[in-house]
Structure 1
Amino acid sequence: MTTSIHQRIAEELGVRERQVQAAVDLLDGGSTVPFIARYRKEATEMLDDTQLRTLEERLRYLRELEERRTAILESIRGQGKLDDVLEAQIMAADSKARLEDIYLPFKPKRRTKAQIAREAGLEPLADGLLADPSVDPQAAAAAFVGEEVADAAAALDGARAILVERFGEDADLVGELRERMWTKGRLLSAVREGKEAEGAKFSDYFDFAEPFAKLPSHRILAMFRGEKEETLTLTLEPEAEPTGTYEGRIAYRFGIADQGRPADKWLTDTVRWAWRTRILVHLGIDLRMRMWQAAEDEAVRVFAANLRDLLLAAPAGSRTTMGLDPGLRTGVKVAVVDATGKVLGTDTIYPHEPRRRWDESLATLATLAKTHNVELVSIGNGTASRETDKLAGELVKLVPGLTKIVVSEAGASVYSASAFASQELPGMDVSLRGAVSIARRLQDPLAELVKIDPKSIGVGQYQHDLAETKLSRSLDAVVEDCVNAVGVDVNTASAPLLTRVSGIGSGLAENIVQHRDANGPFRSRKALKDVARLGPKAFEQCAGFLRIRGGDDPLDASSVHPEAYPVVRRILKVTSGDIATLIGNGTVLRGLRPQEFVDDTFGLPTVTDILTELEKPGRDPRPAFKTATFMEGVEKLSDLKPGMLLEGVVTNVAAFGAFVDVGVHQDGLVHVSALSHNFVKDPREVVKPGDIVRVKVLDIDIPRKRISLTLRLEDEVAKGAGQRDQQGDGGGGGARRGGGGRPEGGRAGGQQGRGDRQRQDRGGQQRNAPSGAMADALRRAGLDGPDKKR
């Protein structure tokens, strides 16, 4: 079946089968996706990393499908029930669901009512009534009364159980009804009695209905969470019309029709019983799983896309940085790190309530800044962030040359308490480690965030509801792709960063660091071969992604793989120069014809990449560093007014819109409908995490800590919009049964963000959907449904 797997993947990707074959061979041979995408373009005929990741995932699924197919064939063959027709059906099954439908009648199970009826000899009764409805059921059943069958009624019950099982295990019928229910049916949601106040965060779903096929990921996850928390009751409705069509399909499949014959009513009742008690239940379980998997896949995709944007955010660079981890009662933690991230000094200041040592704190910061020649001040965006930002503003006035930036502190506490932080910062108080992380993540977000479990970085939606394996696999792939796209300085990289390099696991990363500590910086890529357990395969996979700056060979600082150095030597012969004069010489390099350097080993794609890299060796694909400026005097929710124009930073992007930090401790939502004047299918087409944007405030709900924003600055503020000082009436935004609306879900879950420390204890605060006047204003403005957890 290997060939068919390759053919199927090729069709799905829209590529040639030989490309898939080459990629699979490389993956099976131990090559990583980043290595194949960068250095094996000739083999795969230019498959990129996105295609390769999809190929890898589909290969895993289809191989699991083949393993399951083999197991099912062996099971049925062992039962002596495998014939050519059944085997052909099993071999043609193209999904796990279809395979399980076919296997269901043969799947070993506990003794069912149908099995007991067969053992009592009642199958001929069931077959007879189904084949000839002109037979009177009571008379036919009387002939089967005996020791194991008490009376005619018991005989008919047994016969019905046999037919119900037969109807419910017909793979083609079940598959047809499943697809009909998916396309015609809808999900109903209602609040459980007495749960209105306690479950107010799910108020959008108190009386809600929407077709299965139209439900977006975040609404599915919100409703399932509401059901899990015993606030909502979910019902799967086959379709708005009566379900007779489903029963009709079952009856037609088995030649049952009510023509007034003696057994017709009994058979029709059997069909109804099969539908209501067996098939509908089975389909309900299937469609729940289908909805969940679709929602989960989309949530994982959104999380992965946002994580990629965050990891590839612009680095401030190698500059001495002061990190401020804001706090009120516990004080503001301070850490100064040098250009390489080494800690130069730490302190704790208490400028805010209740101690209010403002001047003393300012003097402490000024002394640290002057002593260590600080250039950047990195401020965490958690509790007391704006107050601390104001303090930093006064510091900037005192110490010329300083620049202050507010950064996300999501995951800082996770790092602080980690084993690696203990190893990296031994003897340092846990609370101060967070300030170090905040400083370093401004210098280089990628290098610092790889030390944290991706799930703790906080750019997902409903991440706590997702399958651990699927989410981790996807996020790990994103981190790996990002690290290798940027490249790693082997002489400064931490073990967690090295772990993410192609071909290097945690063990090899530790060996590299130990070798570096014992022998000094690596002078060449060749020296990596002296690291314990770093063999030829690992060297092949990692060498091109590791940079050695100022080493013996200038090429070692580029992304040119050592295996391709002979190509560069041939180029040098043509240009009659040396490597030092060739690197960066765009005039000479752009005048060369790549085709002249192609040989049997290195094709045109590789040679073209080499020439591009030589022109700008070791170039960083990340954007240039820039910062947002928060409006002075706008520090808390109550400072916001409808109509205000503000600058902010996109912190997270979900399927329904983007969240923007405007400097008031609570991100505002720009609904997908307010991102652009044109239709936006995916918000990430317009904005990404880290983008600096101009927004207009549409509405503020202080009790619910909700801000409605728009990127369309000419949008008018809805009449009656303003600050909500009282709780609304709990309505808003949902598609009511029999009504319209355009629900975007309650804020029953979603993003982990600032307040990271508090979240570790309480598991994340959940907020509900807009209600009352604010909901009306949101609907008029096209912003009816933020969905986020802070």
Structure 2
Amino acid sequence: MQNLIALLAKKTTLNEKQISNILTLLEKGDTIPFIARYRKELTGNADDEQLRLFNDVYMTAKRLLERKEEILHILKERELLDQKIRTAIDNAQTMTALEDLYRPYKEKKNTRASTAIQQGLTPLANTLQSAKLDKQAFMKEAQRFVKGEVKDVEMALRGAQDIVAERYADVAKEREVLRDMVQRHGVIEVKATKKFQENGSFKNYKSHSEKIAYIPSHRYLAIKRGEKEKELSVKLTIDTERYLDTLGRYKLKEYMGSSKTLLFDAYKDGFKRLLYPSIEREVFGLLKEKADASAIEVFGKNLTQLFMSPPVVGKVLLGADPAYRTGCKLAVIDENGTYLDHAVIYPVPPRDEYEKSRDVVARLVEKYNIQGVAIGNGTASNETQAFFVKLNTDGLTLPYTVVSEAGASVYSASSVAAKEYPDLDVTIRGAISIAGRLRDPMATLVKIDPKSLGIGQYQHDVDQKLLERKLHENVERLVNAVGVDVNSASASLLSYVAGVGSTVAENIVKHRESVGIFESKSALLKVKGLGAKAYEQAAGFMRIRGGKSVFDNTGIHPESYAVAKALERYDDVSDTKSIAKELGVGEITLQDIIKELAKPGFDPREDLPSIPFKQGLTDIHSLREGSIVSGVVRNIADFGAFVDIGLKNDGMIHISQMSEKRIKHPLEVLSVNQYLARVEVISIDLEKNKVGLSLKEV
């Protein structure tokens, strides 16, 4: 354990005491949200993100130490372990360095070198590698090995060279030098294949080369997708001649015998056949890991911004799922998100039933006092928006906003939707989801696989296990940061609460439906499967509005209720250091308790700008270069942002058009669901229905 703590201290900003505390908490089964929120004194006030990064480093360090023990055990069993290799293994800081050290000792099967070794050519390889003989003397020495499977001198020479080639390719230092050279100076060469489509998705990569040290992650993922679809071929290149020249001068400088040319041939073969292809695969793998991590990070940030969009509170809302032939599906939800009613209208071609559709909407508005409309941004969205604009000119006064409907069809056909609305058609479930995205984005979107939400970039090309884990962590962090109303939350939302999980979440809902609402947090202990440990982890993130205790509607953990109660006797709580000492509680914990008491039931999303409603409509034919429009950011990628300005397709702001000063990533200046009041149109393509936008000097 001490070795692990020391290694983690080198790789993180935490001291050994904090690391020891965190490891102890994790071993006890405490979750990261719980540790971040309720064990701050033990962690040095590390937040959720820092703890997750620590956990990643911890797991990597643990695997490294376990692999070291495994390798040492193997070498000891084979009587190959000496102090030199033990010291080198102990000092290895990465898995790559460790595997490089172990590589020469691995038992290899079915290689040219292993065959030569079986043929008894190791002594000849040793003689070749010493390069002390001249060529004639070496070939005479090789004659001694012509026996059994070795048919002639040439075969003996090739076998000896194969052994030397593999030895060279397995040397840790050689691998490290070449790896560094490829990473710093290597060039990725991309060529079109016979299946290349001239005007397809990869037209910009028909003949492309770029130093791998500078290639953006999104471009590398695009190239790899083209390779996967067999439209592109990809390889890494370096200045091979320069490398071999350096190799010759470095490896052969001390040798005098003329057989050194035979030795150099072995090194060249080892480089071209073994070492370089191995390092090329390795570097490709590292590039992919880096690109995956970058894409997943962007996805996670987009997801954070989407989930943290402020809810529209206190309004009855109408969700509209537009379509042409099958009609626009409508669903009404109340202030709490409860489904009330539905209808289908046909206000757009081919039926164009404006009057009938108007009457249906007017009836719903009058019956339920609808105060806003959420329109999906898919097929027929623009025409449906035009319908609601006309309703407003006819005096209905029904403001609307457009929301992304990505994933609505996935949700409506899911088992989650079937449980929630068993008697409703899937199309109506989709309209409910669209309305819910406006009322409470987090509570609605948590029911959908994040990969279906239309955010991020290349999410289907990255490591899917890593993506799933990182997205789960993101959602878990957000849900616990906001808190969950245990008496209204769905099982999907409850499953992300620290310590709960899907089975217990289902049991909470069943208990609520059969017994009634929870009047206190302690009542959760009556739920099947929710034991003391799960309660400890989850209770602080649960909220009970109007419960028996005011503390139950805060983020104060039940373990601190006595402290919260004791604060009532203090007229002034500004001297938190003294009060914390008197009450026997950590000062950071006390400060959090005071903060929660100041705003019981506080939702951190309330501090964010609300989603705007509108009544007008943008027409691409009325736009000109220089026109000023408004819109909502729908998605952010490495190269730019996509903005809904009321057209069929989202407009695009390239990263170069986001700021007068140079920025490294769009997320520095924009966020998903951010409302942009003034954006300039800088290009219009009527044929492709595309609009280029700029934030510069607007």
Q: After TM superposition, is the score higher than 0.5?
A: yes
- Tell me if structure 2 keeps the 8 A contact 1:651–1:660: yes
In structure 1, the residue matched to 2:434 is: 438
Name the CA shift for 1:339/1:174 in 2 (closer, same or farther; >3 Å).
Answer: same
In structure 2, the residue matched to 1:54 is: 53
Q: CA deviation at 1:154?
A: 0.6
Show CA shifts across 1:494-544 (max 9, x none): 111111111111111111111111111111111111112211111111111
In structure 2, the residue matched to 1:447 is: 443
Name the CA shift for 1:196/1:574 in 2 (closer, same or farther; >3 Å).
Answer: closer
- Tell me if structure 2 keeps the 8 A contact 1:324–1:334: yes
- 1:29 and 2:9 aligned: no
Equivalents in 1 of 2:384, 2:683: separation in Å?
Answer: 26
Q: CA deviation at 1:701?
A: 3.4
Amino acid at match of 1:156: L
TM alignment of 1:511-660, pairs within 5 A: 511-575=507-571, 593=576, 595-598=578-581, 601-622=584-605, 623-628=607-612, 632=616, 634-636=618-620, 638-660=621-643
Show CA shifts across 1:398-421 (max 9, x none): 565633111111111111011010
Number of aligned pairs?
694
Equivalents in 2 of 1:561, 1:708: separation in Å?
Answer: 50
Name the CA shift for 1:526/1:196 in 2 (closer, same or farther; >3 Å).
Answer: closer
Q: CA deviation at 1:257?
A: 6.7
- Name whichever of 139-148 and 701-710 sits farther off: 701-710
- Tell me if structure 2 keeps the 8 A contact 1:658–1:672: yes
Show CA shifts across 1:601-629 (max 9, x none): 52111111111111112211114453446
- Tell me if structure 1 keeps the 8 A contact 2:164–2:266: yes
Name the CA shift for 1:67/1:397 in 2 (closer, same or farther; >3 Å).
Answer: farther
- 1:701 and 2:685 aligned: yes
Equivalents in 2 of 1:339, 1:88: separation in Å?
Answer: 67
- Tell me if structure 2 keeps the 8 A contact 1:186–1:236: yes
Identical residues among aligned pairs (%): 39
In structure 2, the residue matched to 1:408 is: 404
In structure 2, the residue matched to 1:167 is: 168
- Tell me if structure 2 keeps the 8 A contact 1:567–1:597: no
- Tell me if structure 2 keeps the 8 A contact 1:187–1:234: yes
- Tell me if structure 1 keeps the 8 A contact 2:252–2:260: no
Structure 1 gaps of 5+ residues are 576-587, 715-790
TM alignment of 1:339-488, pairs within 5 A: 339-397=335-393, 402-488=398-484
Equivalents in 1 of 2:34, 2:260: separation in Å?
Answer: 67
- Tell me if structure 1 keeps the 8 A contact 2:131–2:260: no
TM alignment of 1:656-667, pairs within 5 A: 656-667=639-650
Amino acid at match of 2:173: D
SS of the residue 1:322 aligns to: strand
Show CA shifts across 1:135-161 (max 9, x none): 224223222222321111111110110
Amino acid at match of 1:154: M
- Tell me if structure 2 keeps the 8 A contact 1:326–1:379: yes
- Name whichever of 76-85 and 211-220 sits farther off: 76-85
In structure 1, the residue matched to 2:237 is: 237
Equivalents in 1 of 2:397, 2:616: separation in Å?
Answer: 20
Amino acid at match of 1:709: L
TM alignment of 1:262-341, pairs within 5 A: 262-341=258-337
- Tell me if structure 2 keeps the 8 A contact 1:257–1:268: no
Equivalents in 1 of 2:13, 2:177: separation in Å?
Answer: 28
- Tell me if structure 1 keeps the 8 A contact 2:576–2:587: no
Q: CA deviation at 1:83?
A: 2.0
Show CA shifts across 1:107-133 (max 9, x none): 233232111211222111121122134
Amino acid at match of 1:383: T
Show CA shifts across 1:240-275 (max 9, x none): xx323432454466445786x421221222222111
SS of the residue 1:201 aligns to: coil
- Tell me if structure 2 keeps the 8 A contact 1:666–1:705: yes
Equivalents in 1 of 2:70, 2:471: separation in Å?
Answer: 31
- Tell me if structure 2 keeps the 8 A contact 1:495–1:509: yes
- 1:106 and 2:105 aligned: yes
Q: CA deviation at 1:633?
A: 5.2
Q: CA deviation at 1:99?
A: 2.0
Structure 2 gaps of 5+ residues are none
- Name whichever of 100-109 and 180-189 sits farther off: 100-109
1:679 paired residue among 650, 662, 678: 662
- 1:247 and 2:244 aligned: yes
Equivalents in 1 of 2:274, 2:215: separation in Å?
Answer: 25
- 1:712 and 2:692 aligned: no
- Tell me if structure 1 keeps the 8 A contact 2:389–2:615: no
- Name whichever of 158-167 and 84-93 sits farther off: 84-93
Show CA shifts across 1:428-481 (max 9, x none): 111111000011111100111111112211211100011111001101011011
Equivalents in 2 of 1:631, 1:549: separation in Å?
Answer: 35
Amino acid at match of 1:141: A
SS of the residue 1:465 aligns to: coil
- 1:146 and 2:156 aligned: no
Amino acid at match of 1:688: S
SS of the residue 1:598 aligns to: helix
In structure 2, the residue matched to 1:579 is: none
Equivalents in 2 of 1:311, 1:237: separation in Å?
Answer: 43
In structure 2, the residue matched to 1:691 is: 674
- Tell me if structure 2 keeps the 8 A contact 1:320–1:338: yes
Q: CA deviation at 1:77?
A: 2.8
Name the CA shift for 1:379/1:167 in 2 (closer, same or farther; >3 Å).
Answer: same
Q: CA deviation at 1:210?
A: 1.2
SS of the residue 1:323 aligns to: strand
In structure 2, the residue matched to 1:491 is: 487
Equivalents in 2 of 1:338, 1:168: separation in Å?
Answer: 69
Under a length normalisation based on structure 1, what TM-score does the superposition of the two structures give?
0.85
SS of the residue 1:699 aligns to: strand
Equivalents in 1 of 2:558, 2:128: separation in Å?
Answer: 78
Amino acid at match of 2:13: G
In structure 1, the residue matched to 2:226 is: 226
In structure 2, the residue matched to 1:121 is: 120
Equivalents in 1 of 2:395, 2:31: separation in Å?
Answer: 48
Equivalents in 2 of 1:630, 1:67: separation in Å?
Answer: 59
In structure 2, the residue matched to 1:774 is: none
SS of the residue 1:210 aligns to: strand
Equivalents in 2 of 1:448, 1:234: separation in Å?
Answer: 42
- Tell me if structure 2 keeps the 8 A contact 1:571–1:597: no
Higher relative contact order (CA 8 A, sep 6+): 1
Name the CA shift for 1:531/1:599 in 2 (closer, same or farther; >3 Å).
Answer: farther
Amino acid at match of 1:287: V
Amino acid at match of 1:131: S
Equivalents in 2 of 1:378, 1:431: separation in Å?
Answer: 15
Aligned-pair RMSD on alpha carbons?
2.0
Equivalents in 1 of 2:539, 2:617: separation in Å?
Answer: 51
Equivalents in 2 of 1:649, 1:572: separation in Å?
Answer: 45
Under a length normalisation based on structure 2, what TM-score does the superposition of the two structures give?
0.95
- Tell me if structure 1 keeps the 8 A contact 2:399–2:613: no
Show CA shifts across 1:35-81 (max 9, x none): 11111111112111111110111112222222222222233333332
- Name whichever of 608-617 and 297-306 sits farther off: 608-617
Amino acid at match of 2:597: L
In structure 1, the residue matched to 2:207 is: 207
SS of the residue 1:188 aligns to: strand
